[in-house]
A and B are shown apart, each in its own frame.
Chain A
Amino acid sequence: MDYSQFLMMPQEIGLLVVFLLVFLYDTFMPSKSLKGLPLFATIVFGIFTIFSFFPVQDGMAFGEMFESNKATWAMKNILNIGMFIVLLQSVKWANSDFVAIRRGEFYELMLLTLFGMYLMISGRHFLVFVIGLETASLPLATLVAFEKKYYESHEAAAKYVLTAVFSSAIMLMGLSFVYGLTGTLYFNDIASMIVGDKSLLLIVALAFLISGVGYKLSLVPFHLWTADVYQGAPTMVTSYLSVISKGSAAFAFFVILVQVFGAAYAPIWEWMLYAIIVITITVGNLFAIRQRNLKRFLAFSSISQAGYIMLGVISANAVGMASMMYYILVYIFSNLAAFGVIAVIERKTGKVTTDDYNGLFKTNPWLAFVMMLAMFSLGGIPPFAGFFSKFFIFLGAAQTGNVAIYVLVLIALVNTIISLYYYLLVVKAMFIRQDECAIPAFKSHWTEKAGLIICTLGIILIGLVSCIYTGLSGITTSLTSMFSMI
Chain B
Amino acid sequence: MDLTLLMYLIPSLIMFGCGVYGFVTRKNMIAILISLELMLNSVDINFVVFNRYLFPAQHEGMFFTLFAIAIAAAETAVAIAIIINVYRLAKNVDINQITKMKF
Contacts and interface: CB of A to CB of B under 8 A. Distances in A.
B75 A138 contact: yes
Interface in B58-86: 58, 60-61, 63-64, 67-68, 71, 74-75, 78-79, 81-83, 85-86
Contacts of A157: 82, 85-86
User: Chain B at the A interface: mostly helix, strand, loop or mixed?
Assistant: helix
A162 B79 contact: yes
Interface in A140-175: 141-142, 145, 148, 151-152, 154-159, 161-162, 164-166, 168-170, 172-173, 175
A151 B43 contact: no
Given A157-B82, A158-B82, A165-B79, A151 B90 contact: yes
Interface in B14-43: 16, 19, 23, 29, 32-33, 36, 39-40, 42-43
A176 B55 contact: no
Contact of B36 (A154, A155, A165, A290): A165
Interface stretch (A226-234, A333-341, A397-405): A226-234
A130, A164, A169, A179 — which one has the most chain B CB atoms within 10 A of its CB?
A169
Given A166-B23, A183-B54, A158 B98 contact: yes
Interface size class of B (residues with CB under 8 A): 35 or more
Contact of A185 (B33, B64, B71, B83): B64
B39 A169 contact: yes
A201 B71 CA distance: 25
A453 interface: no
Q: Which 10 A-B pairs have the closest CB atoms?
A: A176-B46, A183-B55, A180-B50, A169-B39, A172-B43, A228-B101, A155-B98, A157-B82, A165-B75, A154-B85
Nearest to A149: B89
Contacts of A164: 75
A156 B103 CA distance: 14
A173 B78 contact: no
Interface of B: 16, 19, 23, 29, 32-33, 36, 39-40, 42-43, 46-47, 50-51, 54-55, 58, 60-61, 63-64, 67-68, 71, 74-75, 78-79, 81-83, 85-86, 89-90, 98, 100-103
B5 to A, nearest CB: 9
Given A130-B67, A159-B98, A166 B36 contact: yes
Contacts, number: 118
Given A152-B101, A166-B23, A179-B50, A134 B39 contact: no
B39 A173 contact: yes
B77 to A, nearest CB: 9
A165 B73 CA distance: 11
Given A161-B75, A166-B23, 9 more contacts: A127-B60, A134-B74, A134-B75, A155-B101, A165-B40, A172-B40, A180-B50, A183-B55, A185-B60
Contacts of A177: 46
A470 interface: no
B71 A130 contact: yes
A148 B81 CA distance: 12
Given A134-B71, A228-B101, A154 B47 contact: no
B16 A173 contact: yes
A184 interface: yes
Contact of B40 (A142, A151, A169): A169
A172 B75 contact: no
Contacts of A145: 82, 85
Contacts of B16: 173
Nearest to A155: B98
Contacts of B103: 290
Contacts of B42: 173
